[in-house]
């Protein structure tokens, strides 16, 4: 049974609309009423949604576990700092930057765009080699790429300032730009996964031999997803930098990689709904554990978890999810469609 | 000439360390297709077991097990790491036995995260000086060469471990089962190889090798921190990839090649590029994976069946 065009369009737009509206519905009261602590907590969730969506665009659609995408966030973060830092400080700290870059100071919006473009460019070159590899080889190669980028950025002192933090980076000054980028990332990811290329790539994820046999160029589809996801990661790195107003190279390394992958796997690596669910669930659990470390008052007595237990509990939580529910909270499905938009095909 | 010989010796001793590390990782990869990121934490645990936990930071930390006679230290440290390796197998990797390779890698990433944070919690984040076997850092003068005793010991111990491991794998019943499992795990199980036992043995050997790496490298490095083992495991990884994933002789050859490459880069790289030594090493991994996916020393050809 064919759907009417109007219903078809509504069906297509529903998921990103619902996810965006959901995020917006929380952002609005947070912006209006919440304390700075809560606002920071929620902003961080929005930033993480951008980053995890970046991971998802490649991993979720291709089924290839890429461990190195944080490298693109690193590239994006530094691109943002190079373009938006106070020129006075750039002339002191980053003497190796080309003259015109040293003199300019772009707005955060332009910085995010430039960061996405730069990460995409690097991804095109690196991805052309890496996405040819089979599953585990590709995972290891992306991991190696992360180490390479980290080593370069932490040692190229004249351009990146080495391991020293870069300061005097302008901030957004409001929660809304961060919200905008989270929503934009979700929409981009959705458009890709519903596009012809995205569907072909998902077909290859489920059965690569059958996909090849039907004439799908798995290589080209994977490369497209790799470049797009790197662009989102680059933007995410820039958003993260503008959110913090300060940049250190080790932020974008194993720790962040692990956290992002935990969120992706906990939510369900194969659905966009899972991205949002995973980020919110893991961030909340981590925040509760952090609060428990600081001490909870119950009936006059203060109970506190020993320091460091937060990370360990998060790790154990991850093991449990991997063992008992390896396809995540959402089991890899998107939000169900309401009945009136369903077609006969959905009934199975 | 003297300098070149000195460099060769450095390369051989560093290569031995990497080869041992690679062997521990390669063994598990061959059998389970598990790229064990947590191997670095096995190595760290071995080193930290030598000092007293929960003490305040001192320049030279108080030794605990490390104070004992070496004939007691070695078996105790090995036992601790073997128990740890078997515990991770039992509680994390056994329930995930049918999982895909990337999920296994993710799980090992998680184990590594848990262990690293446990070390942080128990021993703190600051670097600790450890004076293990101070006598071994003595240098021997020979024909103009200054040879630290520890390098000789490292090379000798590695040789002994490798010979005994290959004899074990070649002739003992367990060894034959392990090799059969590495070749084709499912077929081996059909023929009566017990999965839990073989995997247990592999994890135990992997833990033993991690303890050996820690005990041989600690007298050279002198200080440890919570991430001390990670670079050693990362280089082990590089070696496994370079040598051809899943091949044990390949892992050893890969380890020595990486040791040689790192030492040569350190000596002959122009000074302004030296900080980027590791970047070159890991770029090499990507190049090898892309150009020679079966490694530089391929031993068997694996074709994917549909």
Judged against a pLDDT cut of 70, whether residue B258 lies above it is answered with yes
What would the pLDDT profile of A149-168 be if each residue is shown by its tens digit?
A: 999 999 888 888 888 888 88
Distance of CA A76 to CAs A61, A104, B162, Å?
22, 17, 45
| Candidate from A141-155, B20-34, B66-80, B102-116 with smallest mean pLDDT | B66-80
What would the pLDDT profile of A39-85 be if each residue is shown by its tens digit?
A: 889 999 999 999 999 999 999 999 888 889 999 999 999 999 999 88
- Interface check for B60 against chain A (CB to CB < 8 A): the answer is no
Q: Domain spans of chain B?
A: 2-228
Mean pLDDT over B31-40 rounds to 87
Rounded to a whole number of angstroms, the distance between the first and last alpha carbons of chain A is 13
Average pLDDT, chain A: 86
Average pLDDT, chain B: 83
Task: Give the pLDDT score at B54.
Answer: 62
How far out from the chain centre does Cα A104 lie?
A: 28
Domain span at A57 = 18-252
The total of other beta-carbon atoms located within 10 Å of residue A187's CB is 18
Distance of CA A115 to CAs A45, A55, B87, B178, Å?
20, 16, 44, 49
- B290 interaction partners in chain A (CB closer than 8 Å): 129-130, 132-133, 141
SS3 state at A298: strand
CA-based nearest residue to B238, from B295, B182, B159: B295
Residues 169-208 of A with CB under 8 A from B: none
Rounded to the nearest 5°, which phi and psi values hold at A163? -85, -5
| Candidate from A139-148, A259-268, A322-331 with smallest mean pLDDT | A322-331
Please judge whether A140 and B306 are an interchain contact, meaning their C-beta atoms are less than 8 angstroms apart.
no
Task: Give the pLDDT score at A206.
Answer: 87
Judged against a pLDDT cut of 70, whether residue B58 lies above it is answered with no
Please judge whether A323 and B96 are an interchain contact, meaning their C-beta atoms are less than 8 angstroms apart.
yes
Residues 265-294 of B with CB under 8 A from A: 275-276, 278-279, 282-283, 285-286, 289-290, 293
- Whether A122 is covered by a domain: the verdict is yes
Q: Residue A97 and residue A90: Cα distance in Å, rounded?
A: 8
Distance from CA of B111 to the nearest CA of A (A): 7
| Candidate from A43-47, A50-54, A131-135, B65-69 with smallest mean pLDDT | B65-69
pTM: 0.86
Q: Residue B264 and residue A47: Cα distance in Å, rounded?
A: 43
- Whether A231 is covered by a domain: the verdict is yes
Task: Give the pLDDT score at A87.
Answer: 83
Please judge whether A151 and B245 are an interchain contact, meaning their C-beta atoms are less than 8 angstroms apart.
no
Task: Give the pLDDT score at B111.
Answer: 94
Q: Please list, residue by residue across B20-58, b when 16 or more beta carbons sit within 10 angstroms of its beta carbon and e when fewer do.
A: bbbbbbbbbbbbbbbbbbbbbbbbbbbbbbbbeeeeeee
pLDDT tier, B60 (very low <50, low <70, confident <90, very high otherwise): low
Distance of CA A271 to CAs A199, A218, A227, A276, B275, Å?
13, 20, 19, 9, 41
What H or E segment, with its residue span, contains residue A229?
helix A218-244
ipTM of the complex: 0.82
Considering its fold, how many domains does chain A have in total? 1
What would the pLDDT profile of B160-197 be if each residue is shown by its tens digit?
A: 998 898 898 889 988 888 888 877 788 888 988 888 88
Which chain B residue is nearest to residue A312, measuring alpha carbons? B114
pLDDT tier, A186 (very low <50, low <70, confident <90, very high otherwise): very high
Please judge whether B278 and A151 are an interchain contact, meaning their C-beta atoms are less than 8 angstroms apart.
yes
Task: Give the pLDDT score at B207.
Answer: 95
Residue indicated by tokens 């491991």: B165
- Whether A3 is covered by a domain: the verdict is no
Task: Give the pLDDT score at A221.
Answer: 92
Which chain B residue is nearest to residue A134, measuring alpha carbons? B293
Give the one of A133, A306, A319 whose C-beta lies nearest to B92's C-beta: A319
- Whether A309 is covered by a domain: the verdict is no
Q: Evaluate whether A256 touches A265 at the Cβ level (below 8 Å).
A: no
Give the one of A140, A209, A307 whose C-beta lies nearest to B121's C-beta: A307
Judged against a pLDDT cut of 90, whether residue A116 lies above it is answered with yes
């Amino acid at each position: 049974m064919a759907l009417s065009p109007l219903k078809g369009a509504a069906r297509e737009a529903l998921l990103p609309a619902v996810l965006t509206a959901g995020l917006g519905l929380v952002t609005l009261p947070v912006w209006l009423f919440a304390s700075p602590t809560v606002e920071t907590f929620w902003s961080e969730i929005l930033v993480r949604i951008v980053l995890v969506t970046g991971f998802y665009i490649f991993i979720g659609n291709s089924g290839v576990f890429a461990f190195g995408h944080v490298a693109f966030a690193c590239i994006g973060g530094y691109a943002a700092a190079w373009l938006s830092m106070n020129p006075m400080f750039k002339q002191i700290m980053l003497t190796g930057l080309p003259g015109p870059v040293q003199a300019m100071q772009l707005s955060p919006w332009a910085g995010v765009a430039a960061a996405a473009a730069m990460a995409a460019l690097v991804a095109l070159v690196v991805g052309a080699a890496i996405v040819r590899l089979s599953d585990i080889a590709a995972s290891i190669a992306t991991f190696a790429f992360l180490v390479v980028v980290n080593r370069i950025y932490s040692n190229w002192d004249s351009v990146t300032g080495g391991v020293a933090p870069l300061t005097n980076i302008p901030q957004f000054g409001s929660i809304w730009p961060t919200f905008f980028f989270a929503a934009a990332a979700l929409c981009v990811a959705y458009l890709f996964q519903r596009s012809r290329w995205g569907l072909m790539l998902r077909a290859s994820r489920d059965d690569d031999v059958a996909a090849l046999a039907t004439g799908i160029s798995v290589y080209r589809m994977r490369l497209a997803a790799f470049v797009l996801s790197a662009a989102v990661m680059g933007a995410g790195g820039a958003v993260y930098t503008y959110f913090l107003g300060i940049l250190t190279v080790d932020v974008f390394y194993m720790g962040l990689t692990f956290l992002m992958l935990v969120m992706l796997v906990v939510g369900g690596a194969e659905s966009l709904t899972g991205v949002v669910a995973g980020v919110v669930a893991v961030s909340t659990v981590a925040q509760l554990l952090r609060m428990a470390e600081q001490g909870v008052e119950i009936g006059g007595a203060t109970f506190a978890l020993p320091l460091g237990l937060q990370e360990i509990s998060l790790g154990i939580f991850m093991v449990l999810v991997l063992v008992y529910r390896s396809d995540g909270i959402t089991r890899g499905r998107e939000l169900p469609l309401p009945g009136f938009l369903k077609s006969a095909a959905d009934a199975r | 000439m003297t300098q070149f010989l000195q460099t060769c010796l450095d390369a051989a001793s560093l290569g031995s360390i990497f080869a041992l590390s690679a062997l521990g990782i390669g063994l598990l990869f061959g059998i389970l297709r598990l790229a064990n990121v947590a191997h670095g934490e096995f190595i760290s645990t071995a080193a930290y077991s030598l000092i007293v936990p929960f003490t305040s930071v001192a320049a030279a930390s108080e030794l605990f097990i490390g104070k004992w006679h070496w004939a007691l230290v070695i078996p105790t440290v090995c036992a601790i790491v073997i128990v740890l390796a078997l515990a991770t197998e039992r509680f994390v990797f056994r329930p995930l036995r049918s999982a895909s390779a990337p999920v296994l890698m993710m799980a090992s990433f998680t184990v590594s995260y848990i262990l690293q944070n446990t070390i942080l919690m128990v021993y703190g984040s600051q670097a600790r000086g450890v004076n293990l076997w101070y006598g071994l850092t003595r240098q021997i003068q020979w024909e103009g060469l200054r040879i630290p005793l520890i390098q000789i010991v490292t090379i000798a111990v590695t040789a002994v471990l490798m010979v005994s491991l290959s004899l074990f794998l070649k002739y003992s019943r367990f060894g034959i089962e392990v090799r059969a499992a590495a070749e084709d795990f499912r077929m081996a199980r059909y023929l009566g190889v017990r999965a839990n036992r073989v995997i247990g043995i592999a994890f135990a050997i992997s833990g033993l090798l991690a303890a050996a790496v820690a005990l041989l490298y600690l007298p050279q490095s002198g200080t440890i921190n919570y991430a001390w083992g990670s670079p050693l495991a990362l280089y082990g990884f590089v070696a496994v990839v370079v040598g051809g994933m899943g091949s044990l002789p390949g892992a050893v050859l890969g380890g020595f090649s990486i040791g040689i490459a790192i030492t040569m880069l350190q000596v002959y790289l122009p000074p302004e590029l030296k900080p980027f030594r590791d970047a070159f090493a890991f770029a090499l991994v990507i190049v090898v994976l892309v150009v020679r996916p079966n490694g530089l020393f391929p031993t068997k050809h694996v074709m994917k069946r549909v």
